[in-house]
Amino acid sequence: MDSRPRTTDRNGERISVVVHYVGTVVGWAYNKFLIWKRYDLDDRQRALRYHEEPRPGKISIAPTKAFATADDLSLAYTPGVAEPVREIHRDPETAYRYTNKGNLVAVVTDGSAVLGLGNVGALAGKPVMEGKAVLFKRFADIDVFDIEIDAPSTETFIETVVNIAPTFGAINLEDISAPRCFAIESALRERLNIPVFHDDQHGTSVITSAGLLNALELQGKRLEDVRIVMLGAGAAGLATGRLLCALGVRREHILAVDSKGVLHGGRTDLNIHKQAFVVDTPTRTLAEAMVGADAVIGVSGPGLISEAMVKTMSDRPIVFALANPEPEIRPELVRNARNDAIIATGRSDFPNQVNNSLCFPFVFRGVLDARATEITQQVLIAAVYALAELAKDPVPDDVLKAYQVTSMEFGTDYILPKQFDPRLRERIVPRVIAAVEQSV
C-alpha cells in the first residue's frame, strides 16, 4: 500500500498545529502590546512627577495647636506636657481627650499583595499606603501614619502591630496576601480593643455588595434567587461571598473559582477559608460555571473572562470585572457579547467604578466617633445599604461639575455614588454609628 498520502496528511496536521501555535502566541503578544499601549508613557511620567514634586511623597505632619511663642513651647512640650501624661497614666481613656489617638489610624502592610502588582515588598508598598492616607484625610478628615512592616513571619507581623497599637484609634490592614491576611486579622481582632479592618476584604465586600444590590434591582432579580460566580477565592472574593450570604444570597448559589477551577467537593487542596465555599457540583471550570449565571464578580486577574463565556450567562446578566489595572474582561467586549448586561469595573475611566474609597474613610469615621472596639458585620451591612440608597438620590450639581458631566441618575451606568460626592460622609457615618450602638 502506498503510504505517501498518509505522510502528506501528517505533514498537513503538523503544519496546522504550528500555524495554530504561532497564531496563539502572536495573539497573546498583540493583546499584551495593546494593554501596554493603553497606559501611555506620558501618564507614567506624570505619575512619577506627581509623587516626586514639589516634595517627595503625598503626606506630611502639621501641628494642630498654636506654636509660635515661648509660652506655646512650654505648653506643647516641657513642662506643660507633663499634665496630660499624668492624666493618661491615671486613666488610659483620657488619651482620647489629650492626644490625637481618637482620630489616628495606622495603615499597615507587608507589601505582599499590592494592587495588581503582587508581592513587591513593604517599602515598595509605601506609595499606596500614603495614597490611602490622602483618601482618609480628604474624605473623612482622619489622620494616618502609614506603617510598612518587613516581617519574616506572620507571627512577627502580628506582634509588631500589637506592640504599636496603643498609638492608634484603629488599624487598617492593607495589601496583605491570602491566606496570611485572615490569620493576621483574626489574631489582631482578638488581641486589640480597637477596630481592626482589612480593607481588601471588607471594603471590597461592602462596595461590591452595594453595587450588586442596585444592579439586581435594575435587572429585575432577587438576591435570594440569583446564581453568582465568584472569580477569585482570595481575601476579596471570600469576604464578598460571606457578606453577600449575610445579605440573603444562598451559599449554594455561589460558585467560587480559583486558579485551579471551581471549589467543589472533590478538591483536596483547599485551605479552611476556601472550604467554606465548597459546593457539591459537577461543574469544574470557569466556562462551565458561567453557564446560566446571573452575575459574575471578578476579583482575580486580567483577561480571564471571554466573550463566549458572557454569552452563556442568563438573561440580563451582571458582570463585575474588578481586577486592576486591567479587568477580567473589558466593558466593550461585554457589550459585544450582551447588550442586556450591567457592567462594573475597578477603573475610573469606565462607568460604575467599584472603589473602596467609597467605603473605608466613612466606616472608620463612624467607628472612631462611636469609640467602637471592633467593626462588626452589622456595621458593614449598614454601610452597604447607605451606599446603595444614596445612588438612587438626585446627584448634586457640584458632583456633576467634578466629573464634568451634565447629568447622572440611577441606572445601568450609575449604580454607585461617586467618590467626590459630599453626601457620602453624612449618609454612611450616622448609619455606622447607629450599627455600633445597636451592637453594644
The model's pLDDT over 309-325, given as tens digits with 9 standing for 90+, comes to 999 999 999 999 999 88
Same domain, 227 and 356: yes
Question: What does the pLDDT average to over 289-296?
Answer: 98
233, part of any domain? yes
Residue 375 Cα distances to 82, 122, 176, 402, 438, angstroms: 34, 26, 19, 32, 12
pLDDT digit string (tens) for 368-395? 999 999 999 999 999 999 999 999 999 9
pLDDT score, position 286 = 98
Torsion of CA 392, 397, 398, 404, to 10 degrees: 90
Domain that holds residue 129: 49-64+100-194
Residue 368 grid coordinates: 472612631
pLDDT computed for residue 1 by the predictor: 46
Give the mean model confidence (pLDDT) for residues 348-373. 96
Q: What is the Cα–Cα distance from 386 to 213, expressed in whole angstroms?
A: 11
| Residue with more model confidence, 347 or 11 | 347
Asked if residue 130 lies in contact with residue 60, where contact means CB atoms within 8 angstroms, the answer is no
The 10 Å Cβ neighbour count of residue 275 is 11
Instruction: State whether 279 and 366 are in the same domain.
Output: yes
- Check whether 20 has a pLDDT greater than 50: no
Confidence (pLDDT) at 25: 46
Q: Residue 110: how many CB atoms within 10 A of its CB?
A: 28
Q: What CATH number is associated with residue 109? A: 3.40.50.10380
Q: Are residues 167 and 220 in the same domain?
A: no
The neighbour count for residue 425, using CB atoms within 10 Å, is 16
Whether 158 has a pLDDT exceeding 80, the answer reads yes
pLDDT attached to residue 360: 96
Q: Residue 335 maps to which CATH number?
A: 3.40.50.720
| Residue 22's pLDDT band (cuts 50, 70, 90) | very low
- Within-domain flag for 25: no
Q: Would you place residue 11 in the very low, low, confident or very high pLDDT band (cuts 50, 70, 90)?
A: low
Is 219 part of any domain?
yes
* pLDDT for res 12: 52
Q: Do 245 and 369 share a structural domain?
A: yes
Rounded to whole angstroms, the Cα distance separating 125 from 107 reads: 11
pLDDT tens, position by position, 270-287 = 999 999 999 999 999 999
Within a domain: 43: no
* Domain termination site, one of 194, 229, 257: 194
Catalytic residue list = 77, 132
Same domain, 244 and 329: yes
* Claim to verify: residue 159 and residue 236 sit in the same structural domain: no
Q: Calculate mean pLDDT across residues 13-39.
A: 47
Asked whether residue 93 is domain-assigned, the answer is no
How many residues does this entry show for the chain?
440
Q: Average pLDDT of 35-56?
A: 77
Report yes or no: 279 and 289 within 8 Å, Cβ to Cβ. no
The band of 17, judged by pLDDT with boundaries at 50, 70 and 90, is: very low
> What is the per-residue pLDDT for 19?
44
First CA to last CA distance, the chain: 89
Q: What percent of the chain lies above the pLDDT cut of 70? A: 91
- Model pTM above 0.85: yes
Task: Please check whether residues 270 and 127 belong to one and the same domain.
Answer: no
Claim to verify: residue 149 and residue 271 sit in the same structural domain: no
Say what the pLDDT of residue 440 is. Answer: 74
On the question of pLDDT at 30 being above 50, the answer is: no
Based on the fold, state whether residues 170 and 294 are members of the same structural domain. Answer: no
262/242 same-domain check: yes
Among 57-66, 147-156, 164-173, which is the least confidently predicted range? 57-66
Reported in sequence order, the residue ranges of 95-178 that DSSP labels E, i.e. its strands, are: 104-109, 143-148, 170-173
Assess if residue 217 is contained within a domain: yes
Of 162, 194, 226, the one marking the end of a domain is 194
Residue 12 belongs to a domain: no
pLDDT of 60: 87
Percent of the chain beyond pLDDT 90?
Answer: 83
Q: How confident is the model at residue 231 (pLDDT cuts 50, 70, 90)?
A: very high
Q: Is the pLDDT of residue 18 over 80?
A: no
- Is residue 117 located within the same domain as residue 206? no
My answer on whether 303 and 264 are in the same domain is yes
Pairing of strands 261-262, 295-298: unpaired
Residue that the C-alpha cell 489617638 belongs to: 101
Domain boundary among the residues 164, 194, 224 is at 194
Q: What pLDDT, on the 0 to 100 scale, is given for residue 411? A: 97
Number of domains in the chain: 2
Say if 338 falls within a structural domain: yes
- Average pLDDT of the chain is 91
Average pLDDT over residues 41-51: 87
pLDDT at 34 over 90: no
Q: Does residue 33 register a pLDDT over 70? A: no
